[in-house]
């Protein structure tokens, strides 16, 4: 039995000015869920917005408070970032990725959203005619919204049928015309939680070098592939990265998930030293500077967007990175609660007729983490999103992420232990209304036919 009537959900859609629930954005779904909760007092199972569900790292909080007490709030921060953060970022990257990036090329940004926004500008303006972006989907919808704001064209493809060596031919086809300036993906992936394997990262790196495209590698869920023991600095296994296979990269490293520091909007754009020092006449002509990628990226682009990052937060992030690199805090264990939540939630959904859509990497099953994907027989992603709203569960359709598969994205961050039983009851009701009886009749009918 539905918890919310179709009439009430339609009322919420109209009141929140949502054109179509089937294609609703994260923000729109959030508004509808909040409207229904407020209207009825019935809590939702919130799987829509990927906001951290753990306390902020207290070492960062204390370091930020200490910085404010020292008086850093009275001065503008340097555009390139405070030295303490840049040094800590370089050490952190070496400790957990085993890649050398000098402090000068580790640039603070107000979240990875600002990092990608600035990187899109720099990448697409550096060479005439090379001005499009390629998304390896599914991916973060906001990044395409950024390109709409900037007026930059893009291409995209769902990696689902192109895993492993099949990725090479697909990338060759996409890059061959020479117009692609940047290649974008997240690893682990938002929304599918798939992880690109070393062979795939090598292919991407080789193609980026061959066609001189810049890889924007979004590491928002850094070290959160819990299938591997990645939480120990300066010892293998190290975090997989395209940086081993090309010099054309910008790594985007956010504090939001790994340190639950989302409210402070702090991340890093870590540029390879080779790219940082490359000179591009097109950039020099546009910005009337030297046209060297790194300084132009910092002073002529990022500074125009945010005028630098909050100084106290830079010191907080620096302290968390430094302590992690020294092995004094284990942020991987701190975030492992997401793995436990995903495992339990998947058990509930699959017990009631759902299936995991992106369920395998090339050589092994997809792990449990911050996100997972769900499908239900006979339903498109948009239909499933809308139907789940009637049962008090909010999500987003995979179609809004560039995926060609039918299903939804589920985020585990807002799940609480007391809600597991609620979720189980609601999904049992969902399956009874949509699948159980009908599916049994279908199977019975097919069995009778086969026996005849």
Alpha helices in 259-362 (DSSP H): 273-276, 281-287, 293-295, 303-306, 311-325, 331-335, 337-351
Closest CA to 120 of 222, 231, 218: 218
143-160 burial: b if 16+ Cβ within 10 Å, else e? bbebbeeeebebebbbbe
Closest CA to 306 of 86, 112, 150: 112
Closest CA to 303 of 294, 312, 313: 294
Residue-wise pLDDT tens digits, 192-203: 999 999 999 999
Tokens of 31: 């508004």
Query: Does residue 147 sit in helix, strand or coil?
Result: helix
Instruction: Report the C-alpha gap between 430 and 451 in whole angstroms.
Output: 31
Residue-wise pLDDT tens digits, 20-58: 998 898 899 999 999 999 999 999 999 998 889 899 999
Least confident of 50-54, 57-61, 100-104, 419-423: 50-54
Helix axes 83-97, 311-325, angle to 10 degrees: 30
Instruction: Report the C-alpha gap between 434 and 349 in whole angstroms.
Output: 13
Which residues sit opposite 360 in a β-bridge? 365
Residue 440's pLDDT band (cuts 50, 70, 90)? very low
Query: Could you tell me where in the chain the CATH 3.90.1150.100 domains are found?
Result: 6-43+336-451
Reported residue count of the chain is 452
| CATH topology for the 58-325 domain | 3.40.640
The whole-chain average pLDDT of the chain stands at 94
The percent of residues above 90 in pLDDT, for the chain, comes to 93
Residue-wise pLDDT tens digits, 407-418: 999 999 999 999
Average pLDDT over residues 230-248: 97
Tokens of 403: 């995926």
* Cis check: omega of the bond before 139, within 30 degrees of 0: no
Q: Between 2.70.70.10, 3.40.50.11740, 1.20.120.450, 3.90.1150.100, what CATH number should domain 6-43+336-451 receive?
A: 3.90.1150.100
Closest CA to 296 of 284, 285, 308: 284
**pLDDT, position 450:** 42
Query: Could you tell me where in the chain the CATH 3.40.640.10 domains are found?
Result: 58-325
């Amino acid at each position: 039995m539905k918890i919310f009537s179709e009439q009430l959900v339609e009322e919420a859609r109209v009141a929140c000015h949502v054109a179509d629930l089937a294609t609703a954005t994260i923000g729109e779904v959030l508004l509808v869920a909040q409207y229904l909760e407020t209207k009825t007092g019935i809590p939702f199972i919130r799987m829509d917005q990927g906001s951290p569900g753990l306390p902020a790292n207290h070492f960062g909080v204390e370091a930020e408070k200490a910085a404010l007490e020292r008086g850093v709030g009275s001065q503008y921060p340097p555009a390139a970032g405070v030295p303490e953060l840049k040094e800590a970022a370089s050490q952190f990257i070496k400790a957990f990725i085993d890649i050398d990036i000098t402090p000068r090329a580790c640039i603070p940004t107000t979240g990875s959203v600002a990092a990608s926004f600035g990187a899109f500008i720099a990448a697409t303006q550096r060479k005439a005619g090379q001005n499009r972006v390629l998304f390896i989907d599914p991916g973060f919808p906001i990044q395409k919204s950024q390109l709409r704001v900037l007026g930059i064209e893009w291409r995209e493809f769902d990696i689902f049928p192109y895993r492993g060596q099949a990725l090479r031919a697909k990338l060759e086809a996409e890059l061959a015309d020479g117009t692609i300036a940047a290649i974008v993906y997240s690893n682990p992936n938002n929304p599918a939680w798939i992880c690109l394997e070393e062979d795939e990262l090598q292919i991407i790196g080789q193609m980026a070098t061959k066609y001189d495209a810049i890889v924007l590698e979004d590491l928002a869920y850094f070290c959160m592939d819990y299938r591997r023991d990645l939480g120990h600095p300066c010892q293998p296994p190290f975090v997989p990265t395209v940086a081993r296979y090309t010099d054309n990269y910008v790594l985007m490293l956010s504090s939001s998930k790994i340190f639950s520091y989302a409210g402070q909007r702090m991340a890093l754009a870590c540029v390879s030293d080779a790219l940082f020092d490359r000179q591009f006449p097109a950039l020099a002509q546009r910005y009337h500077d030297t046209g060297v990628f790194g300084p132009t990226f910092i002073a002529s682009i990022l500074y125009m967007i945010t005028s630098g990052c909050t100084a106290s937060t830079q010191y907080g992030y620096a302290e968390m990175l430094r302590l992690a690199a020294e092995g004094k805090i284990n942020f991987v264990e701190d975030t492992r609660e997401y793995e436990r939540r995903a495992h339990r939630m998947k058990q509930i959904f699959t017990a009631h007729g759902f299936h995991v859509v992106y369920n395998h990497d090339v050589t092994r099953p997809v792990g449990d983490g911050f996100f997972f994907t769900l499908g239900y027989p006979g339903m498109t992603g948009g239909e499933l999103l809308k139907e789940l709203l009637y049962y008090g569960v909010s999500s987003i359709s995979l179609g809004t992420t560039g995926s060609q598969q039918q299903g939804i994205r589920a985020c585990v961050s807002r799940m609480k232990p007391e809600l597991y039983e609620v979720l189980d009851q609601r999904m049992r009701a969902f399956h009874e209304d949509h699948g159980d009886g009908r599916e049994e009749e279908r199977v019975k009918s097919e069995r009778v036919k086969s026996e005849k």
